[in-house]
Chain A
Amino acid sequence: MGQFKVLKSLVVDSLDTITKGSLKYHLWMGFLTIVILIGMYCYSIQLDEGLSVTGMNDRVSWGLYISNFTFLVGVAAAAVMLVMPTYILKDIDFKQAVLIGEGLAVSALIMCIAFVIADMGGPAVLWHMIPGIGVFNFPKSMLAWDVIVLNVYLFINISIPFYILFRHYQGKEAKHNVYLPGAILSVFWAVAIHLVTAFLYQGLQARPFWNNALLGPRFLASAFAAGPALIILVLAIIKRFTEFKVEEKTIKKIAMIVTVAAQINLIMLISELFKEFYAPTHHSESAYYLFFGLHGKTALLPWIWTAITLNVIATAMLTFNKLRNNLNVLYLCCIMLFVAIWIEKGFGLIVPGFIPGPYGKIVEYLPTGIEVGVTLGIWALGAFIFTILAKTAIGIELGKLQFKSKKDTV
């Protein structure tokens, strides 16, 4: 079969590209490998002793892992912000960005899955969740929905870029009518993974901090700020270290998306704050804890105020065209926004949901070294996967990677 031959050659070629590179590239990959190994070591301790090696306990039963999971779902969905204009509106500027964006989505999703598995008490019986051999609580459990939705999204985001790259690898144009339906589907799907993940929390009447109709929309807004912000940063790095041409126009267009999303996010934040603090009820206690501390317990204050400060400054700066069009300022803003939203949608969202507890008990949560180690390991894994994907994609797009024997192509 011709196709198989092409595929084999693609795998060989890409293995070749990812193992070759400049010294900086090797240093980067070596560094990531070390961090991944440290993470795996930490995880082995956790497997051995149980989740007691983390900072979580019966009162705060989700922590750093689930926080990162939540945040990364947002990043994964952001690729779609670039997919839509490229494929549907035929906006050429975005085309290169899209492949990068979808690569980012794939690595983010793999990280999501890794975080969920790291958080499980019984990873050995995870097969109970596989539809068909296990028992799935569908449609009642939002977690069951989430598993399905995330995996389908992963599938879509692997197959579209793969198809495009596979065609380009053979020196052919990717056929529009083949990938367009997939692209449109992925647009809706991105919104779905977001909403479903938000519903995971939103649907719990036990946790007033989450049981709030704005949670889903705010998820979307913040994700569409943080995700593209990350894409801008990645494009900037690619632009700097490879020959891949990323036009300034592309970056500026994405910056526009970031700006609008960040502004909407800020408006929703204000609305949320108003509701919690204008007429505080019993249900506002978590918000009080988050923003001001409760009964002298203030562990989250430095985090959330850093996040809010960064968020407000970055959004304000982005709002002015002059500042936004200066690339260095833009990159700075993107870093600020990314960090701010990571704190806000991760720590700032998950932990206060448990504090105070159902009966008002306040037990604070701080991740342990092992938890941090596993988390860094998973982030390194994501970066590692992304680097591989991006390097192959760039190789193909630049025409460096091409299928040799033309007569074999179908």
Chain B
Amino acid sequence: MSENKKWYSLDLGLNKKKGSSGSCGCGKTEGGCNSHKEELSAEEFYEAAINASIGEERHKDGFEQVFDVKMDRRTAFKKLTASLLIGAGAVSTSCSLTTSGDAKEKAQIDWEEQFKGNYKLMTDDEKKKTVDRLMRSYELRTGKNISMTAENAAEDVLFGYAFNISKCQGYMDCVSACVEENNQDRNSEMQYIRIHEMKDGEGFKFDKADDNYYHEVPQEGHFYMGTQCFHCDDPPCVDVCPVQATWKEEDGLVVIDYDWCIGCRYCMAACPYDGRRFNWSKPEVPENEVNKNQHYLGNRMRKKGVMEKCTFCVQRTRKGKNPACVEACPTGARIFGNLLDPNSSIRWVLENKKVFRLKEDLGTEPKFWYFMD
């Protein structure tokens, strides 16, 4: 490993040596790990870095940071005024005077949801509480039950994706599977995946490709290539977000807290891969088509004015399943797995195929590789 690299590079942990006792997160093999000798151990450094960036927020985590569930009146009033002053009175429901139990509970939930903290900073307990509230809220509204989890990233997992250009025939089964799995807005026909139809013999001419075709496939003399969010290891979209509503999880997934996003769309401008989608109007999914197996960071119902994107189906992959697109692909062009597991098929592809990524010059280190048979 070259220590003097000026740019960011993806560390797959291929060289990571696991110490028998305490592990050192520096991932160095040669030259040993200096972090124990220095005043700051890796963990302390991490701690300090977090403190430097978000300061206090971290200590008064999650809800407390903004609102305790049982808030006292004064703070409540203060926060409410702040919110009202800024924009719309989206909390009007919470002021409802109805005495009926359900309405009251709904109002209470709306209130707490409006003023909850950033998911990224929540403790597991707080995560569970918000998930419970969201499930209860759905039940109160529709009379149906959903199951939503807040499962955290597992240890020693780094998700990666590979796409076989020779196999893809442009059937777009992945696209429909994705839309159904992830409860994407049916009105605007939002799609995370784009399949680009390109002419043989012209190379990767994205600007000449058709990414919105309605004809029989495979078309004679064409090949197909899919794009989606690449879950960059150094994601520019994360850096630019003014409120840390989007971040990279431990297992490499780049996720969004839909309730924390303020809809500024800066991340959309920053993404070099057209990976992000915005809810320009209220997203709608017919009740009977809603996928009820949800994850807070994944396919739960979104609202208007927030960003969303492919999450590598976090609700599935953290349970050990493949993303919906991988499962739906009839040609086997899509390969997904744990990059840190030497026996995974993704590792086999990376080691045995000539892989490449898009726009590598930008230094974003996508965890999405292309290859050909």
Which residue numbers of A lie inside 8 Å of B, CB to CB?
Answer: 47, 49-52, 54, 56-59, 61-62, 116-117, 119-130, 133-144, 147, 200-201, 203-207, 285, 353-354, 356-361
Contact = CB atoms under 8 A, between A and B. Distances in A.
Nearest to B57: A135
A205 B277 CA distance: 19
Contacts of A285: 207
A50 B304 CA distance: 6
Q: Name which of B227, B260, B266, B268 has the most chain A CB atoms within 10 A of its CB.
A: B266
A277 to B, nearest CB: 18
A contact face: mostly helix, strand, loop, or mixed: loop
A62 B269 contact: yes
Contacts of B57: 135
A235 to B, nearest CB: 35
The dominant DSSP class at the B interface is loop
B261 interface: yes
A135 B278 contact: no
B269 A360 contact: no
Contact of B305 (A50, A57, A127): A50
Nearest to A54: B280
Contacts of B188: 52
Contacts of A206: 236, 269-273, 362
Interface stretch (B156-164, B240-248, B334-342): B240-248
28 contacts: A50-B279, A50-B281, A51-B280, A121-B305, A123-B87, A124-B83, A124-B86, A124-B89, A125-B259, A125-B260, A125-B262, A126-B83, A127-B79, A127-B83, A129-B243, A135-B244, A136-B54, A136-B242, A136-B243, A137-B242, A137-B244, A140-B239, A147-B242, A200-B266, A204-B270, A206-B270, A357-B274, A359-B209
Interface residues of B, number: 66
Given A61-B265, A123-B86, 5 more contacts: A57-B280, A61-B278, A127-B79, A130-B82, A143-B266
B280 to A, nearest CB: 4
B330 interface: no
Contacts of A52: 188, 280-281
Contact of A123 (B88, B117, B242): B88
B13 interface: no
A121 B256 CA distance: 15
Given A50-B281, A121-B304, A137-B242, A360 B207 contact: yes
B335 to A, nearest CB: 22
Contacts of B362: 205-206
Given A122-B305, A204-B236, A137 B211 contact: no
Given A121-B263, A122-B261, A359 B281 contact: no
Nearest to B246: A137
B16 to A, nearest CB: 26
A323 B276 CA distance: 52
Contacts of A137: 53, 239, 241-244
